[in-house]
Amino acid sequence: MSVVPRPVSSIIPKVRVALHAQAVATTFPERPTAREPRAVPTAVVYCEGNFSGIDGKTANGLVRHSESYRILAVIDSEKVGIDAGVALGEEPNGIPICRDLAEVLSVADGVPDYFIYGMAPASGMLSATERSVVLSAMRLGMNIVSGLHEFLNDDLEFARASMASQVVILDVRKPRDKKDLRTFSGRIARVTCPRIAVLGTDCAIGKRTTATILTRSLRERGLNAVMISTGQTGLMQGGRYGVALDAIPSQFCAGELEAAIVDAFDSEAPDVIIIEGQGALGHPAYSTSSFILRGGCPDGVVLQHAPGRAMRCDFDQMAMPEPAKEIDLIQTFSDTKVIGLTINHENMTDEQIDTAIVLYEDQLGIPATDALSRPSDRLVNMVFSAFPVLEERTTGGRE
């Protein structure tokens, strides 16, 4: 007689379910109020051999901005001793880069609450070495945050380790059950505030970073700007609205994004909604940009481009497209308008950035800037030029 193995879920006791609910509440808490300050859990980010690189974009993003966690350290043995901000080519931020977990414990004040897998490998899977490191973190009492396509909660070894150490695993990319997923309904038509998508000419090109800076800069001008996250890193950083689109069956992608936008509009009454982009519409390997344009129906698009990148990320046989070609594709595919160009300055000098800005403004007839290295006013004015009503609301136009 054959023996049918018990499902992983049947060996996890109720206490783990309670712990998971508690961890989710801690990781993605409600917006804090003046009377109830939020205690931010601590975390170490694992990014071995990839910090500040393209595949380290999750770690890079968390070091730059995180509302969900206080990042204590980054693990990357190739950059030991360097400040994480300096490694990103920015100002020091006081986050050390450590060799391994043992060094993290020596510099941190106790065991961090969370161990975050901070890479986005093309395979979406853990290597054998990485499995060992994650299991070690669990034995030390750290909860695990993973944005991989490989869901660790579905792995028997990790499930048993989670139960034994009384820690939880948050598979950020794991979608809801199919019965709970939503299809496009057309409700996006009642979202009356401007919707701006930050798309790109390639993957891993800085769309989320630019969207985050734009959202923050608009808030600093007094506008209620809400960002919709469409990938695992944005959700890890504390995004309250959004979904990891590349893990959703295509039938539901447009609907899930539409629902997230409508939820944000109904709950926040925003002046403007910023939608994080994914992939590139003209990239044959990624289709998520099409769902962002369809499900989000953006009124405007900011396009991110890397002039110093000769070939597409992870596809060294494919040359990068010119921005004009991607702009034409976007505006043909969707009823929207590209309102500006932002630059990823990898492999560029400061002088080259200035030259590129002038060149693209002349060629494309739209404003251009670098969100990271140039004043945020340029990015904000790009939006105000396209949507004057937003500028009016910052100068007394609001009732």
Question: What is the residue extent of each domain of the chain?
Answer: 8-28+41-171, 180-394
User: Across-strand partners of 116?
Assistant: 45, 145
Local structure of 42: helix, strand or coil = strand
Q: What is the pLDDT of residue 2?
A: 38
Side-chain-facing half-sphere of 92: CA atoms under 13 Å: 6
Same-fold call for 8-28+41-171 versus 180-394? yes
Local structure of 193: helix, strand or coil = coil
Q: What is the DSSP letter of 83?
A: B
pTM of the model: 0.86
Q: What is the pLDDT of residue 1?
A: 39
User: Across-strand partners of 303?
Assistant: 199, 341
- The matching CATH number, chosen from 3.40.50.1860, 3.40.50.10490, 3.40.50.150, 3.40.50.300, for 180-394 is 3.40.50.300
Q: Going by DSSP bridges, is the β-strand pair 70-75/143-146 parallel, antiparallel, or unpaired?
A: unpaired
Q: What is the pLDDT along the chain (399 residues), one digit of tens a residue?
A: 333 333 333 333 333 333 444 444 333 333 333 334 348 999 999 999 999 998 999 999 999 999 999 999 999 999 999 999 999 999 999 999 999 999 999 998 789 999 999 998 777 789 999 999 999 999 999 999 999 999 999 999 999 999 999 999 999 999 999 999 999 999 999 999 999 999 999 999 999 999 999 999 999 999 999 999 999 999 999 999 999 999 999 999 999 999 999 999 999 999 999 999 999 999 999 989 999 999 999 999 999 999 999 999 989 999 999 999 999 999 999 999 999 999 999 999 999 999 999 999 999 999 999 999 999 999 999 999 999 999 999 865 444
Query: Tokens in use for 73?
Result: 């350290």
Q: What is the pLDDT of residue 242?
A: 96
Q: Which amino acid is at 326?
A: E
Distances in whole angstroms, Cα of residue 250 to Cα of each of 257, 291, 295, 384: 11, 8, 11, 34
Which CATH superfamily is 8-28+41-171 part of? NAD(P)-binding Rossmann-like Domain (3.40.50.720)
* 142 vs 159: CA distance, rounded Å: 14
Q: For residue 52, count other CB atoms closer than 10 A to its CB.
A: 22
